[in-house]
Amino acid sequence: MLCLNDSIRYDDPSLQRWLSAVEETHTLTALLLAVWPLARTLARHIVESVLAARAQAPTCWPPCPTCGTPLRRKGLATRQGTSLFGPLRWRRRVGRCPHGCDSPLVAPLDGELGLQPYQRSSGELQALGCALAVFVPCATAAQLLGWYSGAAVSPRAVWGWVQRAGGQAMATLQEALQAVATGQLPPEESRAEALTNVPLVRGADGVMVPFRPDGGQPRGKTPWCEVKVGGLARLGQHRTRIGQVVTRLAQRRLVAVLGGSEALKARLWLEAVRQGILHAPRVVWLSDGARGLWHLFEERFAGHATGILDFYHAAHNLWKGAAAWLDGRTTPARRWFGWARHRLRHGQPDGVLADLAEA
């Protein structure tokens, strides 16, 4: 470390300030906070030197989009952008049509680096901004990114990244849905060896979610809309510290849509194929008694899965049956319900069903 310290000091005197700040700290927190801007600066130096080396490599000039003649070199131009380590700046070759066609300057290195023409922030910064914006408002996400990168990030930029990422995700999903509708099944997602031969469970439900009255505007009455949700998981086995084997949900995947059962059906089927519904040794469909969900089960999943009404809803219906049969909230109704629920809970429905049939 001392050696590195000396070489940094020697190579780049502008880092002196950061190095002295690091040495003057006392607590570990202060030390780490002081080393962070130094680390960012070093990272930027490394990235910029790699970019400078790439800019020196031979360039393969593409043809002019108008006349097809290979473009010709027109010197170096600066490009800059914000990254997770703060602002980056580098120079790269640009070219233009030798016949003077009216097309903009082209920088082949930008394309190799995966940069869009007017992109001002790098992909990893945008990805972290989008991930933060899932949990906090854009303004908070921008503030957190600013603390991390040492560069100013505007809430509007985070909003724009989220919109673009959302648009791309929707386009990818639409493509996958269309492919599955025409019989092109997606590849199964890889999973741990231990999860290959265990049952796959799927459940679905609806949840009420608050929405803005007008897109992007906070004013007005909040409308509540139902978002249909489907979950998929493998029933994995887990051994506890005292050696007990318990069932644990593994490889959990969630599908959600603001829309009707048809929209959920297509998405759930797509994800079910990805999660191996066609090869799982056993598939269970678990849901409440909502008619739409059971209709969906009949239409799409009945051939591949065993349908089970979840215990809490089954118990609820059982109470309704008991109350109708044994004159409402009477002692006999309660007694029978307690007995029947216990049998259902422990997988012995036969006596319960016989009683209900008789009643």
- And the tokens for 288? 């409440």
User: Which residue's CB is nearer to Zn ion, number 102 or number 214?
Assistant: 102
- And the tokens for 338? 């307690």
β-strand partners of 239: 245
Rg (CA), the chain: 30
User: Which residue's CB is nearer to Zn ion, number 95 or number 129?
Assistant: 95
Shortest Å, Cβ 41 to Zn ion: 42
Q: Residues interacting with Zn ion, by CB under 5 A? A: 64, 66-67, 97, 99, 101
Shortest Å, Cβ 185 to Zn ion: 45
Determine contact, residues 169/175, Cβ cutoff 8 Å.
Answer: no
Residue type, position 356, single letter = L
For 14, phi and psi rounded to 5 degrees? -70, -15
Shortest Å, Cβ 104 to Zn ion: 12
User: Which residue's CB is nearer to Zn ion, number 99 or number 335?
Assistant: 99
Shortest Å, Cβ 160 to Zn ion: 33
Indicate the SS3 state at residue 312. Answer: helix
Determine contact, residues 18/39, Cβ cutoff 8 Å.
Answer: no
Shortest Å, Cβ 100 to Zn ion: 7
User: Which residue's CB is nearer to Zn ion, number 73 or number 335?
Assistant: 73
User: Which residue's CB is nearer to Zn ion, number 100 or number 215?
Assistant: 100
User: Which residue's CB is nearer to Zn ion, number 104 or number 187?
Assistant: 104
Indicate the SS3 state at residue 311. Answer: helix
Distance, in Å, from the CA atom of 265 to the CA atom of 228, rounded to the nearest integer, reads 10
User: Which residue's CB is nearer to Zn ion, number 68 or number 186?
Assistant: 68
In the chain, the largest separation of any two C-alpha atoms, in whole Å, equals 97
- And the tokens for 240? 């506890």
User: Which residue's CB is nearer to Zn ion, number 99 or number 279?
Assistant: 99
- And the tokens for 79? 């490009």
Shortest Å, Cβ 102 to Zn ion: 9
Shortest Å, Cβ 67 to Zn ion: 3
Distance, in Å, from the CA atom of 217 to the CA atom of 220, rounded to the nearest integer, reads 8
- And the tokens for 10? 């020697």
Rounded to 5°, the CA angle 312-313-314 comes to 90
Report which secondary-structure segment, H or E, holds 285: strand 283-287
Shortest Å, Cβ 115 to Zn ion: 23
Instruction: Give the residue among 306, 232, 321, 237 at the shortest CA–CA distance from 269.
Output: 232
